[in-house]
Amino acid sequence: MTNSTVTNSTGTDGPAAGEAGTATWVAVGPAGAVGSIHRVDTGFRVDLYGRGGGGGVYPSLTSAKGAVHAALGPMADRPEFRAH
């Protein structure tokens, strides 16, 4: 799977090509959507589907994506993050 939303070509958390207005990313794994990330004033809020409570707010998109991946458990493949 191609994941063009991890970082831009400079390796920062700025928007990659075509993502300047992106405010939501959906995390999709082999079984379907597993969570989402939303841009908020204080960073990036993680919502994990099928789990009680919020996933927290992270200072960067990269750290939010890492949190979603970690929440899937050991040995889980990294989900694809689709900008919406």
Q: Residue 41's pLDDT is what?
A: 95
3-state secondary structure of 61: helix
Question: Token pair for residue 22?
Answer: 């992106």
pLDDT (tens place) for every residue of the chain, 84 residues total: 333 343 333 334 555 544 556 899 999 999 899 999 999 999 999 999 988 777 899 999 999 999 999 999 999 999 999 998
Q: What is the pTM of this model?
A: 0.74
Residue 70 near residue 46, CB atoms below 8 Å: no
